[in-house]
Chains A and B, each alone.
Chain A
Amino acid sequence: MSVGLIFTCIQIGLCFGIMAMGIHISFRTLGVPDLTIDGSFTLGAATSAIFCLYNLPILGLILGMIFGALAGIVTGILHTKLKIQAVLAGILTMTGLYSINFWITKRRPSITLYQNKTIFSFLSNLKKVDFLGSNLKEALTLLILLIIAIIIIILLDRFFRTNIGLAIRATGDNEEMVNASSINTDSMKIIAFAMSNALVSLGGSLYVQLQSNYDNSYGNGMMVIGVAAIIIGEALFRKRKLAKAYIISVVGAIIYEFIFMLALLIDNVNPIDIKIITAIIIVLSVCLPMLYKKIKKGSKKDA
C-alpha cells in the first residue's frame, strides 16, 4: 500500500467518520436506527455538487448541512408526531429524498467537478510538491478534513454537556425520566434527528468535493458503513468519556476504509465480490476482540 493510497483512505475515512458521528447520535445516543442516512448523505452530496458548479463550495457545505437537518426534522416529525415507527419513518424520508436529490441536480444522475472550485482546489498547485512519497496537496487535504472532524468532535462534546444535550442523551437512556423532568421528549428526538442528518449530509458534501465528482448512488449503503464504523471503533477501543465515543467513530470509519481498500487490492478480485469480503472482514474485526476477551476469561477460569 503506497503512501498516496494511505492518504486517500484516511481522507475518505474522515468524510465517513463525520457521517458516522452523525449516525452515532441516532443509533447510539437515541438508540433508534434512522434509515434516512442513505438519502441525506446523497442530499448533502447533491447540494454540495450544485453549488460547486457555481464555484460556491463553502455555501454548498453549509446548505448541505441545513438540508440534511431538514430531512432529519421530517423523519423526526413522522416518528414522534405521526407515531410512525422510526425505521419506517426513515425509509419514507429516504425514499422521498431520492426524487428530491434529482430535483437538486436538475435531473442529472452524476456531475463532474474537475473544472470547478471546491474547498480543496486552492491546494492544486501543491500537487507537484513531494511529501512523504505522496504530495503536499493530498497531505493538506487530509489535514483540512482532520481539522473539520476535530472541530465537530469538540462541538459535539460541548453540546452534549449542555442542558439540552443532557436531555437528548437522557431521552435515549430513560425517556420516562426525561418526561418527569418536564422536558418534551418529542422535541428532543426531533433535534437529535436533525443534528444527526446534518452531520451525515456534511459528510456527503465533503465527500463530493474530495472526489470532485457526484453520483446519485453515493449514499447507497452509507448506513451500513456508519454503523460498521461505530461498531468497529467500539470493538477495538473502550469508550469512557463522551468525546471518546466520537473519536472512536471517526477512527472506526478510517479503519473501515482501509479494510475496504485492502479488499480491493486482493489479486483478481471481482468488484461484485468486494461487498461480501468487506462484510466478512467487518464481522471478523468485531468478533475477534470479543473472542479474545472470552479466551482470556476462559483461561483464567482454568487456572
Chain B
Amino acid sequence: MLEIKDLKVIFEQNTVNEKIALDGLNLKLEDGDFLTVIGSNGSGKTTLLNAILGLVEKQAGTIILDDEDITKKPSHKIAKDVGVVFQNPLRGTAPNMSIEENLALSSAKGKFGVFSNGTSKKNKQKFREALSTLNLDLENRLETNVALLSGGQRQALTLLMATNEKPKLLLLDEHTAALDPKTAANILSLTDKIVKEKKITTIMITHNVKDAITYGNKLVLLNEGKIKLYFDKEEKEKLTVEKILSLYNYNLSDTQIFN
C-alpha cells in the first residue's frame, strides 16, 4: 500500500526561479492497484516519481510504503522495494555490460551475495527463463552487450530487471514515449501482462490519454502539482478520451494540453 500525504516539492525555493512542482499532493493506492497518470508538461508527474524514489528534496509531506515511512530514506535503499523504468532507454541498463550481467545486478538487489558469481550456471538458467517471457529472443543472447540492443529491447530488459524480483511498487515514467508506435504498443502490453501476473502495485505516467484509459484500474490527472481529476475503477471504466478532454477543458480552460 502506498500513501502520500500533503507532499510538497519546491525547486529553487526563495529565489526568483522558485517553482512549486508538487503542491500538497495526496494519493492512496491499495495493493495491486495500477494507476495511470496524465497531465500537461510541467504538471509535476516526473517530480512525483522522483519524490517517491528519494531523488528530490521534499519541503513537506510524508510517503508511506507498506507501513514504512520512506520520506527520508536514501534513494539506493528505496530502490530495494521500488522498481522504475524511465522514458530514456539508456537510463535503466549498463551499456557496456552483457544482458546477463545487467540481470545479475538487478537480481542481486537486496540479497547481495557479495563474492558469489553473478553469472553462474544456475543464474544463467534463471535469466534465460525470465528473458523467454519477453518473446524477443534475448534468452539466446545472454552474453551480448546491452549497447547492441534496440531501444525497445533495452526498455523490455529494464522492465524485466525492475520487476523480476517483485517490487512493492513499480514506477513507469512515459516508458514507451521514446519508442516507435509498434514497439511502444508491444512494451505496453508486456507491461500490462507483467503487472497483472505479478499483481504489482504500479504508477504509470503516460502522455497518451487513450493508453491511460485502456490500462490500469485508477486514473488521475495532475495539474500544477495537484491531483485535479480522479477516477476510481467504476468511473474509469466508463471514461472516454472525449469525456476527459471535455472535462479537462471545462475545468481548466487550457486547450493545448493534449496535443
Contact = CB atoms under 8 A, between A and B. Distances in A.
B93 A181 contact: no
Contacts of A176: 91
Contacts of A184: 76
A177 B97 CA distance: 12
A178 interface: yes
B76 A162 contact: no
A175 B92 CA distance: 10
Contacts of B162: 180
A34 to B, nearest CB: 20
Contacts of B95: 173-174
A68 B55 CA distance: 34
Given A182-B76, A184-B76, A185-B76, A170 B105 contact: yes
Chain A contact residues: over half helix, strand or loop, or mixed?
A: helix
B20 to A, nearest CB: 26
Given A162-B117, A169-B94, A173-B94, A180 B79 contact: yes
Interface string B142-176: 00000000000000000001100000000000000
B101 A181 contact: no
Contacts of B92: 177, 180
B118 A183 contact: no
A170 B118 contact: no
Interface in B94-121: 94-97, 101-102, 104-106, 108-110, 112-119
A181 B110 CA distance: 8
B94 A170 contact: yes
From A161, A180, A184, residue with most partner B Cβ within 10 Å = A180
B145 to A, nearest CB: 10
A231 to B, nearest CB: 18
Contacts of A163: 104-105, 108, 112-118
B91 A177 contact: yes
A64 B97 CA distance: 32
A262 interface: no
Given A161-B119, A164-B114, A177 B94 contact: yes
Nearest to A170: B94
Interface in A135-187: 161-164, 166-167, 169-170, 173-174, 176-185
Contacts of A185: 76
Contact of A166 (B79, B91, B105, B109): B105
Given A161-B117, A164-B115, A183 B76 contact: yes
B56 to A, nearest CB: 14
A182 B113 contact: no
A180 B116 CA distance: 20
B183 interface: no
B75 interface: yes
B199 interface: no
Contacts of B116: 162-163
A168 to B, nearest CB: 11
26 contacts: A161-B119, A163-B104, A163-B108, A163-B114, A166-B97, A166-B105, A166-B118, A169-B97, A169-B101, A170-B102, A173-B94, A173-B95, A173-B96, A174-B90, A174-B91, A174-B95, A177-B92, A177-B105, A178-B105, A179-B75, A180-B92, A181-B79, A181-B109, A181-B161, A182-B80, A182-B110
Given A174-B94, A180-B79, A183-B112, 7 more contacts: A163-B113, A163-B115, A169-B96, A170-B102, A174-B90, A177-B105, A182-B77
